[in-house]
Amino acid sequence: MAKRIDVSGLSAYYGSTKAIEDISMSIEPRSVTAFIGPSGCGKSTFLRTLNRMHEVIPGARVEGKVLLDDENLYASSVDPVAVRRSVGMVFQRPNPFPTMSIYDNVVAGLKLAGVRKKVVLDEVVERSLKGANLWKEVHNRLNKPGAGLSGGQQQRLCIARAIAVEPQVLLMDEPCSALDPISTLAIEDLIGELKSQFTIVIVTHNMQQAARVSDRTAFFNLAGVGQPGRLIELDDTQRIFSNPSVQATEDYISGRFG
C-alpha cells in the first residue's frame, strides 16, 4: 500500500515569485521523512507539491517531476483529485468540518466519494479512530460535533479522517505546532505506528521531534530573503543530527545559525 516518492528538478512558484528551486530527492516507503529548516525556506510549499495542493492557490504553479512509484503526478493526463486520494494530508491547525459529527468527519472522504453502505462506514470509522488512537476517547459520542473536541483530539480526528480514505502516502504539515506536549506525544506515538502502513512525510520546526520520529531528515535552507528555498541535504536522521555533511546543517541544528 505504501509507495515511494521520487522528486526530480522540482521548482514551485507563487505568481512570478520562485518559492523553491530545483529540488530532487527520494522518499522511502514505510518510513518517516522529516523536513526541517528555517521559516520561509519552502518546506511546506514543497510538501504541498507532493499531492498537488500547491496549485489550489491562485497563480501557483510547479515545474519538474514527482514520481509516485513510477507515475508522474504532474503528467498532463493525471487528475489532481485522484492524486489527493492516494496522497493524504494533515494540516498545521486542526480543521475538522464544523457542520459534521465526529463520525461524519472521519468518513467525510468516503461519503463524498459516494460510499453509502452503513456497514462499511461503521467499520472504517472504528478502524480509523483506533488507528488515530482516538477510539477510546470518543466511541460513545460519535454523533457529537467534531469541533467540540480538544485541540489534540481534533488533530487526531483529522489524522483519522486522512487515513480513512486509505492513502498510500501521508503528508503532515507541522501537525503538532498548535498542540501541548501531551497531545504532541500522542501524535508522535501515532506516527510511529502509522509508518508500518504509510509513507509519512512530516514538516516540523521542532528538531527534537524530527530526531524522535523520523528515519530520514531533509534540511532546507534559503540563500537570503527573497531567494528561493533549496534542499541542502537529505540523510539518515541519525547522521543529520550527529555528523551532517554540510556545515549549514550543523549550524542550524546546533542553533548557531545566521
Partner 1 sequence: MSAATTTVSADARPLGRALTANRLPKWAPAAVAAGSIALGCGIGAVGGLASHLQWGLISAILFVAIGYALSARVEGRRQAKDRLATSVVWVAFILAVVPLVALTFYTIQQGADVVNGYFLSHSMKGVLASGPGGGIYHALIGTLEQVGLATATAAPVGLLTAVYLVEYGRGRLAKTVTFFVDVMTGVPSIVAGLFILSLWNLALGFNYSGFSGSLALAILMMPVVVRSTEEMLKLVPNELREASYALGVPKWKTILRIVLPTAIGGITTGVMLSVARITGETAPVMMLVFGADYINSNPFDGPQQSLPMYIWQQYSVVNNDYGYARAWGAALVLIAFVMGLNLIARGIARWRSPKGGH
CB of 137 to partner 1, least distance (A): 13
Q: How far apart are CA 36 and CA 199, in angstroms?
A: 17
Q: How far apart are CA 182 and CA 107, in angstroms?
A: 26
Per CB under 8 A, 113 contacts partner 1: yes
- The span of 96-104, 174-182, 184-192, 238-246 binding partner 1 (CB under 8 A) equals 96-104
Starting at the edge strand found earlier in the chain, the sheet holding 32-36 runs 71-72, 60-68, 5-14, 17-27, 229-236, 216-222, 32-36, 199-203, 169-173, 87-90
Contact positions with partner 1 (CB under 8 A) in 43-72: 51, 53, 56, 58
Question: How is 168-180 classified by DSSP, letter by letter?
Answer: SEEEEESTTTTS-
Per CB under 8 A, 158 contacts partner 1: yes
Per CB under 8 A, 91 contacts partner 1: yes
For residue 49, the surrounding DSSP H or E stretch is helix 43-49
Per CB under 8 A, 165 contacts partner 1: yes
- Nearest to partner 1 of 187, 240 (CB atom): 187
Q: How far apart are CA 196 and CA 191, in angstroms?
A: 9
Per CB under 8 A, 18 contacts partner 1: no
CB of 75 to partner 1, least distance (A): 17
Q: In the set 60, 125, 162, 176, which binds partner 1 (CB under 8 A)?
A: 162
CB of 227 to partner 1, least distance (A): 27
Per CB under 8 A, 112 contacts partner 1: yes
Q: In the set 37, 42, 64, 109, which binds partner 1 (CB under 8 A)?
A: 109
For residue 90, the surrounding DSSP H or E stretch is strand 87-90
| Locus of grid cell 550527529 | 242
Q: How far apart are CA 169 and CA 177, in angstroms?
A: 21
Q: What is the DSSP letter of 115?
A: -
Per CB under 8 A, 84 contacts partner 1: yes
Per CB under 8 A, 151 contacts partner 1: no
CB of 84 to partner 1, least distance (A): 4
Q: How far apart are CA 12 and CA 64, in angstroms?
A: 9
Q: How many residues does the chain have?
A: 258
CB of 237 to partner 1, least distance (A): 26
Note the residues at the interface with partner 1 (CB under 8 A): 51, 53, 56, 58, 81-86, 88-89, 91, 93, 95, 97-99, 108-109, 112-113, 144-145, 147-148, 158, 161-162, 165
